[in-house]
Amino acid sequence: MKRILIFLSLTAALSAQVFTDSWPGTAAGAGSGGAQVAVTRSMWAHSYNPAGLAAVQTAGGGFGYTNPGAYGFASLSMFTAVLPLNETYGTLSLHGDMLRVKNGDAVLSSENALGVSHAVNLIKDLRSSFAVGYSLNFLYVNYGQSAGQSGDGTDGIDLGSVAGLGVDLGFRASLRDRAWMGVAVKNINAPSLGGSESESQAARKFVAGIGYMPYYGLVSSFEIEKVLGFDAQYRAGLDYALNEWFTLRAGVSTYPSQLTFGFGVKKSFFRVDYAYVSHPILNGTHFFTVEITKP
């Protein structure tokens, strides 16, 4: 029974891996179906489209936590810190993600990414804008220990680790701040992890999408994501600000078919977001994010 639960937890974690697979990001984005490449403009923009950082005007930081599948074996922790410079030099961010899969006290594997992102508006006036952004990510995987004689990893041998450097590139355009278009390529340099006998590549993906605000407070978005070697995934989402402090979100995605919903509460310089993402077979996943911005 224990081995079955461990297998299920590892399977659930695939939907939230840091860089070897696709995942819906932080709570605010996950609640809207993950369709963020065109509409993202928060301190978490590096997760979807680094060009979205150019729209961030206030310094701040945030922390996110996810327990994939709610099984308890895997945990995904995220942090970010963002610093707007000026209109000429744009915005910088430092961010990191860590996924750990454990069996009791034994760490079966950990997947980590530590990166820096930069974005700047090449064009910005009262009617339109065009931004470009990029991320440099140090990717590190620790495979933990083998099962060993006990079968639970507590007396196994060290399986080693691999590392690489990934580069993300993104573009984002807006018209009257009511219509948006975004394109992003993750791991555009096809970083290799491991040696010649066990070499693998971090997942490369291309994402393109659009967003539209029919009236103030309601943002709709749609995007297509293609991970190399996998079927295209389609996502759509709605983000509705009921007032200045409370926001509702909902979305859908394909491959796998998922429904999402969430909400955000903002008070002065403090913000909390929550999202729930369903799964057609496994348990759903809860996302939590906390942000603090400069008053």
User: Could you read off the pLDDT of 214-228 as tens digits, one per residue?
Assistant: 999 999 999 999 988
Per-residue pLDDT of 82-100, as tens digits, reads 999 998 999 999 999 998 8
Helix (H) or strand (E) holding 11: helix 2-13
Structural domain including 52 reads: 2-293
At a CB cut-off of 8 Å and minimum separation 6, what does 223 contact?
35, 36, 37, 38, 182, 207, 208, 209, 210, 234, 235, 236
- Residue 270 sits in a domain of what CATH number? 2.40.160.40
At a CB cut-off of 8 Å and minimum separation 6, what does 111 contact?
17, 18, 19, 20, 98, 99, 140, 141
Instruction: Enter the DSSP assignment of 47.
Output: G
Output the pLDDT for position 23: 62
Helix (H) or strand (E) holding 5: helix 2-13
Cα(139)–Cα(151) distance, integer angstroms: 28
Instruction: Quote the mean pLDDT of the chain.
Output: 86
Q: Average pLDDT in the 187-211 region? A: 83
- Has this prediction a pTM greater than 0.75? yes
With tokens 């065009």, the residue in question is 130
pLDDT confidence bin for 38, thresholds 50/70/90: very high
Per-residue pLDDT of 115-134, as tens digits, reads 999 999 999 998 999 999 99
Q: Between 33 and 69, name the one with better pLDDT.
A: 33
Q: Are 97 and 77 in contact (CB under 8 A)?
A: yes
CA dihedral angle for residue 247, residue 252, residue 257, residue 260, rounded to 10 degrees: 10
Q: Are 110 and 144 in contact (CB under 8 A)?
A: yes
Q: Give the distance from CA 183 to its chain's centroid.
A: 15
- State both tokens at 1: 């029974």
The answer, yes or no, to whether residue 109 has pLDDT greater than 90, is no
Per-residue pLDDT of 218-274, as tens digits, reads 999 999 999 888 889 999 999 999 999 999 999 999 988 999 999 999 998 999 999
Q: Are 250 and 260 in contact (CB under 8 A)?
A: yes
Cα(135)–Cα(191) distance, integer angstroms: 13
Per-residue pLDDT of 133-158, as tens digits, reads 999 999 988 877 666 666 665 666 77
The answer, yes or no, to whether residue 1 has pLDDT greater than 60, is no
Output the pLDDT for position 198: 63
Instruction: Determine the straight-line distance between the first and last CA of the chain, rounded to whole angstroms.
Output: 51
Number of domains comprising the chain: 1
Helix (H) or strand (E) holding 286: strand 285-293
Helix (H) or strand (E) holding 2: helix 2-13
Q: Are 28 and 245 in contact (CB under 8 A)?
A: no
Phi and psi torsions of 11, nearest 5°: -65, -45
Q: Between 75 and 159, name the one with better pLDDT.
A: 75
